[in-house]
Structure 1
Amino acid sequence: GEAEVDAHSSPPFLKLKKPLQFGVASETKD
């Protein structure tokens, strides 16, 4: 449902994934 819609939306999906990856990397580094 929602997940499918997000997957189809490249711009918003990437925008959300980018900050998420950075946050995870920061937490992992810490």
Structure 2
Amino acid sequence: MMLFAMFVFGVILVLLVWRHQSILGDGSAF
């Protein structure tokens, strides 16, 4: 349960960071 929660949190964090970098980069993020 704990490992699953950490995995989900990690995925969400990576997605948020990726979207943020994409917006700052070329402005063509989703």
* TM-score above 0.5, yes or no: yes
Q: Which has the higher helix share?
A: 1
CA RMSD of aligned residues (A): 0.7
- Structure 1 segments (4+ residues) deviating >2 Å: none
Higher RCO (CA < 8 A, seq sep 6+) = 2
Aligned positions, number: 22
- Residue identity over aligned pairs, in percent, reads 9
> If you compute each CA radius of gyration, which structure gives the higher value, 1 or 2?
2
Query: Which 5+ residue runs of structure 2 have no aligned equivalent?
Result: 24-30
